[in-house]
Amino acid sequence: MLDWERQIIDRIAERSPSLGVAITPETLLDDLGIDSLDQIELIFELEEHFDVPLPYNANEPSGEKVRLVTVGDILGLVADQLGQSGAAGERSAHHAESFQVQ
């Protein structure tokens, strides 16, 4: 598994309330307890972490719709963007600012 894939899996694992579930690209996000609101927060975190836009709109027409059902779908979404920016596997992760509650 590539370094950037491991970073994504780790972030998914952190926000999943399901303990002890082995996470593979085939794992369903629903099975990890990650609902739609969690998904968009995760997308935001990944955008911050990799500094790339991740095009995802839950309301896109079905023909163009990016579907996020499995962990692999998220990996694919990021892979597409990293590939386009020419930095797949080489971009060094920088700390994303977490959203702090005072």
Partner 1 sequence: MNRVAVTGLGVISAVGHTASEFWHAVSHGRSGIGPIQSIAGNDLEIGVAAQVRDFDPGEHFDRARQAQMDRFAQFAVIAAREAMADSRLVDEACSAMRVATIIGTSIGGQVTQDDAYRRLYGEGRQRSHPFIVPRIMTSAPASQVTMDLGLTGPAYVVSSACASAGHAIGQAFHMIRAGAVDAALAGGAEASITYGSLKSWEALRLMAPDTCRPFSLDRRGMVLGEGAAILALEPLERAKARGATVYAELIGFGATSDASDLVRPSPEGAARAICAALEDARLNADEVDYVNAHGTGTATNDIVETDALHRAFGPHAPRLAVSSTKAVHGHALGASPALEMVATVCALRDGVAPPTANYTTPDPECDLDYVPAEAREMTMRVALSNSFAFGGLNAVLAARASDMSV
Q: Which stretch binds partner 1 (CB under 8 A): 46-54, 57-65, 66-74, 78-86?
A: 46-54
Q: Which is nearer to partner 1, 53 or 83 (CB)?
A: 53
Closest distance to partner 1 from the beta carbon of 100 (Å): 8
Q: Which stretch binds partner 1 (CB under 8 A): 5-13, 35-43, 64-72, 83-91?
A: 35-43
Closest distance to partner 1 from the beta carbon of 94 (Å): 14
Sign of CA dihedral 19, 80, 82, 89: positive
- Kindly state whether residue 30 participates in binding partner 1, applying the rule CB under 8 A: no
Closest distance to partner 1 from the beta carbon of 101 (Å): 5
User: HEC states along 17-67?
Assistant: CCCCCCCCCCCECHHHCCCHHHHHHHHHHHHHHHCCCCCCCCCCCCCCCCC
58 CA to centre of own chain: 15
Helix (H, G, I), strand (E, B) or coil at 87: coil
Sign of CA dihedral 82, 95, 54, 12: positive
Q: What is the binding site for partner 1 (CB under 8 A)?
A: 15, 17, 37-38, 40-41, 43-44, 47-48, 53, 99-102
